[in-house]
Chain A
Amino acid sequence: MSIMSYNGGAIMAMRGKDCVAIAADRRFGIQAQTVSMDFDKIFEMGPRLYIGLAGLATDIQTVSERLKFRVNLYELRENRRIKPKTLLSVVSNLLYERRFGPYFIEPVIAGIDPLTLEPYVASCDLIGCPMVAKDFAVSGTCSEQMYGMCESLWVEDMTPDQLFEAISQALMNSVDRDALSGWGAIVHIIERDRVTTKTLKTRMD
């Protein structure tokens, strides 16, 4: 039994042309038993900045709350919105502080820089190693399936609609091959001027 697969889950983020998308499944389970189908794993850290957390459910909630604490203080002191790459540094620092007793989560960040309007996708491992991606980032119990799907479906410079199709198909087909992920999915498409949120009905098993 691995701690990272105790609750199960999947997060995926993709970069498009002037847009990013982040998607997650909605299952909360305790090993084989599914407990809830509307568990949030993606959290808003700014108007166009989202972070998805995969791994142990209790740590998902704790880390998102502690992260919001740091981001709130940052925005009050600096009097501006936090940039995606700064958020990556904050997350990395938060996780490395627990280097020898870590939070069992692997975060994925997707957002648009508030000033340059560049799309940004990045992820970390559970002890805070930051990895900025130019195409996509995945994390969860079906990460191998997600890597395969993303590698096949991702192309450069997708429009928001194409990006939505690509990320939805990639996530849905990956979680369908994983017993511990699924039971619905939620997708956020983040563009320069708006964020669209869509829920997907997947195989409910």
Chain B
Amino acid sequence: MSRRYDSRTTIFSPEGRLYQVEYAMEAIGHAGTCLGILASDGIVLAAEKRNTNKLLDEISFSEKIYKLHDDMACSVAGITSDANVLTNQLRLFAQRHLLQYGEPIPCEQLVATLCDIKQAYTQFGGKRPFGVSILYVGWDKHHGFQLYQSDPSGNYGGWKATCIGNNSSAAVSMLKQEYKEGETNLKQALDLSIKVLSKTLDTNKLTADKVEIATLTRENNVTCIRILPTSEMEALVKKFEEEEAKAEAEKKKDKPSS
């Protein structure tokens, strides 16, 4: 029955739903996982790399993590071509703000501006919505470190830790249990992101080449957006595996053998 209401974005269904928007979110649920964790001294952004074909040529900066301006970066889940269009728009907005006001755009304003554009595609024009959810990490002088998430409906929210893409609900519930507000520093956030990603990845084992991690920190009043090199990634994965092995051994010790 709902078939009648899903071909055009500009109509509601009788139950008050926008099917095109929901279908767009479906598309994102199949995309590579991205998660963000806010720490006291920085933010971690981790993304699952799906394009691990050996024939693919080396990518310049990153496959899923985009720098937006000096103080903000984002990661996307969904249709990559839609994501490229949106990140280009985000970069233009940020520069126009800088040109007009002489200071960097506050994080929430940039997110809200893009979300207004995304919302327009759900109300008029007859074009389909963008099939991308975006996680934004940034710093501004008003609110410090911030993490935002936006989706195809144009809705956005500020988060302490969140996840988008494949198995995101499992990741979010894990983060809800493990994230300690006010007590997490960058190192702990990195460890936690590896732990959560290893549970949500499709493949059995987490390796450094399947994941991309970026951190945003402030050093000497300058924002530093850094993609972790493979060596650091491998060290983190190794540390995680050692802790897992230890936890397994502890469990075995506690259980008396029958």
Contact = CB atoms under 8 A, between A and B. Distances in A.
Interface in B41-92: 60-61, 67-69, 88, 91-92
Nearest to B70: A72
Contact of A73 (B60, B95, B102): B95
A202 to B, nearest CB: 30
A69 B104 CA distance: 12
B98 interface: yes
Contact of A65 (B68, B88, B92, B102): B102
Contact of A79 (B60, B88, B98): B60
B98 A76 contact: no
A68 B60 CA distance: 23
Interface in A54-79: 65-66, 68-69, 72-73, 76-77, 79
B61 A69 contact: no
B131 to A, nearest CB: 22
A42 to B, nearest CB: 18
Contact of A72 (B60, B61, B69, B102): B69
Interface string A67-101: 01100110011011000000000000000000000
B136 to A, nearest CB: 15
Contact of B92 (A66, A68, A73, A80): A73
Chain A contact patch, size range: 10 to 19
Contacts of A73: 91-92, 95
A76 B102 CA distance: 19
Nearest to B60: A79
Interface residues of B, number: 13
B99 interface: yes
A76 B69 contact: yes
Contacts of B88: 77
Q: Which of A68, A69, A80 has the most CB of B within 10 A?
A: A69
Contacts of A80: 60
Contacts of B99: 65-66, 69
A65 B100 CA distance: 9
B103 to A, nearest CB: 12
A76 B91 contact: yes
A69 B96 CA distance: 8
Nearest to B95: A69
Contacts of A66: 99
Contacts of B95: 69, 72-73
A65 B95 CA distance: 10
A69 B98 contact: yes
A72 B97 CA distance: 13
B83 to A, nearest CB: 14
A40 to B, nearest CB: 14
A60 B23 CA distance: 51
Nearest to B87: A76
Contacts of A79: 60-61
Nearest to B96: A69
B75 to A, nearest CB: 15
Contacts of B91: 73, 76-77
Nearest to B98: A69
Contacts of B67: 76
Contacts of A65: 99, 102
A136 to B, nearest CB: 32
A53 B98 CA distance: 20
Nearest to B99: A69
Nearest to A65: B99
Contacts of B98: 68-69, 72
Given A76-B69, A77-B88, A80-B60, 7 more contacts: A65-B99, A69-B98, A69-B99, A72-B98, A76-B67, A76-B68, A79-B61
Interface of A: 65-66, 68-69, 72-73, 76-77, 79-80
22 contacts: A65-B99, A65-B102, A66-B99, A68-B98, A69-B95, A69-B96, A69-B98, A69-B99, A72-B69, A72-B95, A72-B98, A73-B91, A73-B92, A73-B95, A76-B67, A76-B68, A76-B91, A77-B88, A77-B91, A79-B60, A79-B61, A80-B60
User: Which 6 A-B pairs have CB atoms at the shortest separation, nearest pair first?
Assistant: A79-B61, A79-B60, A69-B95, A69-B99, A76-B91, A72-B95
